[in-house]
Amino acid sequence: MHNTAYQTVSNKESISCNPNAIYGDVAHHICCLIPVYIDGGDCTACYYVDGRRDIIHKSIKTVLREIARHEGVLANGIQSTRRSKPMYTDPRTLGPNMTFACLKARKPIARDVVYGLFNVIIPFQYHIEPGPEPHTTYIIIGDFDPILVFHSPDHVQRKLRDALLEHLDYTKRILAKLSTCGNPYVVAEIYGASRTLAGV
């Protein structure tokens, strides 16, 4: 049964995208970020591994920028292993526990962002079901209500698979850099620094 406890949005659900709340525990890792309209405002629904769904009263662009800053990268300069500068809908890797697939999650008003970000580095799989209309799909995450995206199921599967491949390439690059250093103390410092940056 899908969790309906998060249907009602209140000020209590609003957070300021506090990095300590997001990264302090593996249970706080992000499943996905979905752009939503709340009372006419451009907001972001943040789904977490531990089953919470919080509303951040900021646009998804702002939320992504804050997360990227916490991960030590520039949101506009996130690199892809396939090209020097990724297209907007390409997979985005922000850190060891965060590679996003971009999927259209709402119909736009004016020039607002329509793409949601789905993290493929989570401890369970996304379930894909056909949507109510052609070229729509329901993505089911844990006990959350299904999330409607405006792509065919095949396209969704391909985008999620591309994001996983992107994360594998990212991991291989990190391991290759570590393997060039023969000093175990330096490797330990790099490993410790990466965990500190991620708040683990």
Q: What is the residue extent of each domain of the chain?
A: 11-198
CA distance 140 to 84: 33
Whole-number pLDDT of residue 196: 52
Whole-number pLDDT of residue 74: 60
Whole-number pLDDT of residue 84: 55
Whole-number pLDDT of residue 192: 60
Quote the distance between the C-alpha of residue 164 and its chain's center: 12
CA distance 6 to 144: 8
Q: What is the full per-residue pLDDT of the chain (200 aa) written as tens digits?
A: 333 333 333 333 333 344 444 444 555 688 999 999 988 889 999 998 888 899 999 999 899 888 887 776 665 545 555 555 567 788 888 877 889 999 999 987 777 889 999 999 887 788 999 999 989 999 998 889 999 999 999 999 999 999 999 888 888 877 777 677 666 666 666 656 555 544 44
Whole-number pLDDT of residue 13: 35
Whole-number pLDDT of residue 95: 79
Whole-number pLDDT of residue 171: 80
Whole-number pLDDT of residue 152: 96
Whole-number pLDDT of residue 26: 54
Quote the distance between the C-alpha of residue 149 and its chain's center: 15
Whole-number pLDDT of residue 108: 75
